[in-house]
Amino acid sequence: MIGKFFQFSYLIFFVLLIDGVSAQNYVIQKDHSQIFFKVNYLSYGHVQGQFKSFKGSLDLNDSGIIENLTVKIQSNSLDTGHIQRDGHLRANDFFYTQKYPEIIFTYRKTIKRSGQQYEIEGELQLRGQSRSQRVELNLGPLEKDSWGYPSRFGEFKAQLNRQDYGLSWNKTLSGLNFLVSDEVEVSGIIQLQLTDAQTPTSKHMIPDTPAMRMREKAKRGEAELVTTVTVASQETPAVLVPRSTRPQVNNSQQPAIKTKRPVNQDPWFWVLGLMGFLASIILGAFGKKIIMDYFPEYEEDSLKGYLSDLLTIGFSLIYAIAFWLVGWGD
């Protein structure tokens, strides 16, 4: 009985030990990732394209060693910038995307590693064929963006023979040359972010203004906002003071402080803002017209009339409030 108890204890300890060495789970962030392919054409030229739709994940243990890597590519998302050529590549002569919609790479093992430079081996599934494929991968260090979300960037490249996967279409030239080479170069760069800490795409669409940069630096602790102080009828404007040079004062001797945000000084901000305001008015008027057309019994003095007027005013009012808060509001 005691022996079984100790065996069970060892098993629990082993499970906890394995769980303690937890891997970091990353996913591919599409906003800053690209996958390219390139093939020689007429011996000296080349055709280059990319896949626009893909997803993937990567697991790193605490020692920075890859434990898992999977990438899935939508084959019909290929784009070479030429409609007819793309149609041919999606057809049976090449990728046959209707029957084989996905290209999948799955990690098997690491062949060689030097720091964060890897040569890895995996299985590539393409057009119904599975072949062993080697990939060179260089992982960058962990960095945080402006909003505090960590990222790693990985640059990769690989060489494959399209004949191994049944992409055999070609045309002969003079001698023993062919129109398209069999060797295909695949390369790209991927942004990896933790599964539970991904930068929202909407963050990249936020306007960039001096006031916003000031607040971001203060939030990261790189500087502090010194607010407006009124002393003996003299007003000192808000400034950004680096922590290393900010004078040390006794807070108990400081007068009352009033926080005030600086006015946005970028002229383009106001020009684009006014254009957006006009667009909100037009959008509201268009909404009113839709209500008028949808309800044949529409009358200006009826409830529908008041609601349509409220819709027209609402778009402009909401935009004006948002514009004020971003550019000028306290």
Same domain flag for 220 and 272: no
Flag whether pLDDT at 310 surpasses 60. yes
pLDDT band, residue 250 (cuts 50/70/90): low
Same domain flag for 172 and 215: no
pLDDT tens digit sequence for 112-149: 888 889 999 999 999 999 999 999 999 999 888 878 88
Looking at residue 34, its pLDDT comes to 95
Same domain flag for 136 and 151: yes
Same domain flag for 90 and 223: no
Q: Which of 17-21, 127-131, 262-266, 322-326 has the lowest mean pLDDT?
A: 17-21
How far apart CA 211 and CA 238 sit, in angstroms, is 11
Same domain flag for 114 and 138: yes
Same domain flag for 115 and 184: yes
Looking at residue 10, its pLDDT comes to 45
Residue written as token pair 């590539």: 124
In a domain, 12, yes or no: no
Give the DSSP letter string of 285-319: HHHHHHHHHH-TT--TTSHHHHHHHHHHHHHHHHH
Calculate the alpha carbon distances from 260 to 217, 238, 254 in Å.
17, 7, 17
Flag whether pLDDT at 3 surpasses 60. no
In a domain, 8, yes or no: no
Looking at residue 260, its pLDDT comes to 55
Same domain flag for 138 and 273: no
Calculate the alpha carbon distances from 44 to 40, 100, 178 in Å.
7, 31, 11
Flag whether pLDDT at 111 surpasses 80. yes
Same domain flag for 219 and 279: no
In a domain, 6, yes or no: no
Looking at residue 115, its pLDDT comes to 87
- Percent of the chain whose predicted confidence (pLDDT) is above 90: 35
pLDDT tens digit sequence for 182-221: 899 999 999 999 988 888 887 766 666 777 777 777 777 7
Q: Which residues of 48-86 are buried (b: 16+ CB within 10 A; e: fewer)?
A: ebbbeebebbbbbeeeeebeebebbbebbbbeeeeeeee
Return mean pLDDT, the chain: 78
Q: Which range marks the domain in which residue 231 is found?
A: 207-246+253-261
The residue that leads in pLDDT, 50 or 288, is 50
Q: Which of 15-19, 262-266, 276-280, 316-320 has the lowest mean pLDDT?
A: 15-19
Structural Rg of the chain based on CA atoms: 30
Q: Is the pTM value of this prediction over 0.85?
A: no
Same domain flag for 157 and 186: yes
- Percent of the chain whose predicted confidence (pLDDT) is above 70: 72
pLDDT tens digit sequence for 61-103: 888 889 899 999 999 999 999 999 999 999 998 999 999 999 9
Per DSSP, what are the bridge partners of residue 234? 231
pLDDT, mean of residues 245-262: 55
Same domain flag for 219 and 188: no
Same domain flag for 101 and 216: no
In a domain, 3, yes or no: no
- Give the highest mean pLDDT range of 15-24, 152-161, 268-277: 152-161
In a domain, 127, yes or no: yes
In a domain, 184, yes or no: yes
Flag whether pLDDT at 245 surpasses 60. no
Q: Which of 22-26, 253-257, 282-286 has the lowest mean pLDDT?
A: 253-257
pLDDT, mean of residues 239-254: 55
Domain end among 194, 220, 237: 194
Flag whether pLDDT at 13 surpasses 80. no
DSSP 173: -
Same domain flag for 135 and 166: yes
Flag whether pLDDT at 155 surpasses 50. yes
CATH number at residue 178: 2.40.128.110
In a domain, 241, yes or no: yes
Looking at residue 21, its pLDDT comes to 46
Provide CB contacts within 8 A for 249, sequence distance 6+.
none
How far apart CA 207 and CA 28 sit, in angstroms, is 25
- Show the tokens assigned to 277: 């305001």
Tally of domains in the chain: 3
Flag whether pLDDT at 296 surpasses 80. no
